[in-house]
Amino acid sequence: MSVHDTLLHRLKRGCETMAYPKGPAPALPDRHGGALKVETAKCTAGCSACVTVCPTEAIARPTGKPVALDLGRCIFCAECVKVCPTKAITQTNDHRMAVRRREDLVLGDTAKEQVRLAQALDEKLRRLFGRSLKLRQVSAAGCNACEADTNVLGTIGWDLGRFGIQFVASPRHADGLLITGPVSKNMELALKKTYAALPEPRIVIALGACAIAGGPFIGHPQHHNGASGLVPVDLFIPGCPPHPLTILDGLLRLLGKLEERR
């Protein structure tokens, strides 16, 4: 094969970057399910079927109170959806679920049936980072799935670079930190040092159930149940791992690059 053939093949393939966000978002796999929705009005009294099947204690129903589902702890196994007799917990097929405040991931109460999606950074930070956001990634006991699906955003299909977002090789070059994993005790020091090495102003993104709350390993003594206890987090992106589309949505939302709000 000559160089010309190679070039010709590439030309024939054309541009492979998806149209989103200008065009429509690609569909999630039909069995993915997307974000969950909780309608406590549908719950029958005394039922706690969902609470018992949840592997990460993401669902609670204190006596006399409505069911509360913490999407930050959720690993999206959908066991609760299957077991709920009244369809109070359902899948929305919506890929959007990143939030700015931890409490916005707790669903249940009235007006909190679904996640309150992330607001953009304030004007000043948006002016700073809106056109160029350099991130340093710290994996702190992530299982390499969150890492892999962040990496995928760099491929030609997603092309994160077109939004000015880039992962850099030194914290000194970075505007923010993207953390995966529950933060093992063994990574605590490295994480703190990396954070300290970022010039201010800086932002922190917690990606995946592990980084938000401990994930499948929630409650184990070998880690910190997520990053929040160690560094201030500005964006939470739920999932195990979050679909690349969910991650991209979160990043763009933070930078105020998506029009619709909820």
Kindly indicate which of the ranges 65-73, 141-149, 219-227, 249-257 contains the residues binding ligand SF4, using the contact rule CB under 6 A. Answer: 141-149
Shortest Cβ distance from residue 138 to ligand SF4 (Å)?
Answer: 12
Task: Rule CB under 6 A: choose which of 142, 244, 250, 256 binds ligand SF4.
Answer: 142
Options 37, 51, 217, 230; binder of another protein; rule CB under 8 A:
217
Stretch that binds another protein, among 27-35, 62-70, 98-106, 112-120 (CB under 8 A): 27-35
Q: Among the candidate windows 38-46, 92-100, 143-151, 246-254, which touches ligand SF4 by CB under 6 A?
A: 143-151
Does 184 help bind another protein (rule: CB under 8 A)? yes
- Name the segment binding ligand SF4 (CB under 6 A); options: 78-86, 110-118, 186-194, 210-218: 210-218
- Mention every residue, 6+ apart, whose C-beta is less than 8 A from residue 75: 55, 56, 58, 209, 215, 216, 240
* Total of chain residues touching another protein, rule CB under 8 A: 62
Residue 233 site contact among ligand SF4, another protein, none (CB < 5 to 8 Å, cut-off depends on kind): none
Q: Does 74 help bind ligand SF4 (rule: CB under 6 A)?
A: no
Tell me how many residues contact ligand SF4 (CB under 6 A).
13
